Each structure stands twice: as structure tokens, then as C-alpha cells.
Structure 1
Amino acid sequence: MRVRDAVEADGGRLAALADVPTEVMADVVHDRTVRVAESDGEIDAFVGFEADEETVHVTHLFGAEAACEHLLDEPIRFAEREAMPVEILLPEPETDIVAVAENVGFEESDPGPWFDGHRTRRFRLENPTTETE
């Protein structure tokens, strides 16, 4: 599996994985740090994240479970360098991605906000370390 920065040309595949319009993913690629995992030249998963003054926020995590688990190392490494926790909001009932987050060490914290009429769940990794690799 190869991990690389997303480029604008990846927008169509990222949109298909996230089930959103291509234009939305073009904005995400420009506005956030987005990394993709690919094998045999095909994008299997992607992660998008950004940071504020206190926390690294995983804003997008879509694709094959094993690739998503591997991709979470990207925001975790960034958080380690900045001594920040990492948060991810997941829409209910995203059980596959919840399992990925928990496998990497995230723990469910407060309930997340409602988004587009759906409840979200907030997961947090207080003291990130990439030793889970």
C-alpha cells in the first residue's frame, strides 16, 4: 500500500468513496490535508484532517478498513509532533469506521453534534502515539 498526498485529479474517486459530489471533494483537497492509500494504482481509502489551536480534527475517513486504519497514522503523527489530541466525528451507524478508530486507540467521548439530520459520535485520542503500527 502506498500513501501519498491527494491531488485535484483524485476528486472523482474520493467523491465516489465518500458518496458526495466531486466539487465537494475538490474543495476538501484544497482546504485540508488529504492523504490517500492506493494499491495497484487504485485509491482504496482517504483521510482528510485539519488542526485548530488545540486539536487535530479528522474530517474525512472513507474506504477499505485496513487502509483507513493505516491512514489514521497520518493525523496521529501530526498530533504527536504538535502535542495535541485527535478527534473524529463519525455519523451513526458507521460501525466499520468506528471499529477502525477503536482499533487505533480512539475512545468514544461526548455525543457528537447532529449533521444533516443524523446523529454523530465523537471519538478522541488524547495521547496519540504511532506505536500501534
Structure 2
Amino acid sequence: MRVRDAVEADGGRLAALAEVPAEVMTDVVHDRTVSVAEADQKIEGFVGFEADEETVYVTHLFGTKSACKRLMDEPIRFAERESMPVEILLPEPEEDTAEVVENVGFEESDSGPWFDGQRTRRFRLENPEKEK
């Protein structure tokens, strides 16, 4: 599986994975750091993340379990360089993605905020460099 930076032309496939309009994903590709995982030149998943002064936030994680697991290396590597924790909010009852983030070292920290009428769960990787 190969990981690369997303480009605007990937918007349609990313939108299909996230089940959102293509123009939404075009904005995400422009506004965040977005990486895609490819196998046989087909996009299998993507991760989008951003950071503030204190934390790296994974804002998008979609695709196959194996692609998502590999893609989580991207925000974790960035967080290691910057000595920052990483957070991701997942909608309930999203178990597959929760399993992926727990398998790479994240712990559920508390209930996340409600989003579009749905409760979320907050997962956090406090010290990425210590997880290796």
C-alpha cells in the first residue's frame, strides 16, 4: 500500500468514501493536510488532519481497516516531530474506526461533543513518541 498527499483530482473518490458532496472534499484537500492510501492505483482510504498550538486533530479517517491503520502513521509522525498529542472524534457507534485507533495506541478519553444530533467519542494519543 502506497501513501501519498491528496490532490484536488482525488476529491470524487474521497467524497464517495466519506459519503459527502465532492465540493466538501475539495475544500478539505485545500484546507487540511490530507493523505491517501492506494493499492493497485485505487484509493483505499484517506486521513485529514490539522493542528493548533497544542494538539494535532484528525478530522477525517475513512477507508478499509488496513488503509486507516497505515494512514494513522501520518498524523502521528507529525505529532512526534512537534511533541504534541493527537486527538480524533468518532461518531457513535463507529466501532471499526475505533478499533483501528485503539490498535495504534489511542485511548478513549471522554465523551465528545454532539455533532449533527449524534454523540461522539474522543480518543487521544498523549505521547506518540512513547508508544513505539
Could you tell me the TM-score, scaled by structure 1's length? 0.97
Number of residue pairs matched?
132
Structure 2: tracts of 5 or more residues without a match: none
**Is 1:95 matched with 2:95?**
yes
The unaligned stretches of length 5 or more in structure 1 are none
Within-5 A mapping of 1:1-133: 1-129=1-129
Letter of the 1:53 partner, please give it.
E
Check whether the contact 1:76–1:130 (CA below 8 A) recurs between aligned residues: no
Q: Is the 8 A contact 1:77 1:130 kept in 2?
A: no
Quote how far apart the aligned CAs of 1:54 are. 0.3
Counterpart CA distance in 2 for 1:129 and 1:66 is: 22
* 4+ residue segments displaced more than 2 Å: 129-132
The structure with more strand, counted as a fraction of residues: 1
Letter matched to residue 49 of structure 1: F
- In the alignment, is the contact (CA less than 8 A) between 2:105 and 2:131 conserved in 1? no
The whole-number CA distance in structure 2 between the counterparts of 1:73 and 1:131 is 12
> Take 1:113 and 1:78, find their aligned partners in 2: how far apart are those partners?
25
Alignment root-mean-square deviation, CA = 1.1
Which residue identity does 1:21 align to in structure 2? Answer: P
Query: Cα distance, 1:86 vs. partner?
Result: 0.1
The alignment-based identity, stated in percent, is 80
| Structure-2-length-normalised TM-score | 0.97
1:34-76 deviation digits (Å, cap 9, x = unpaired): 0000010100000000000000000000000011001000000
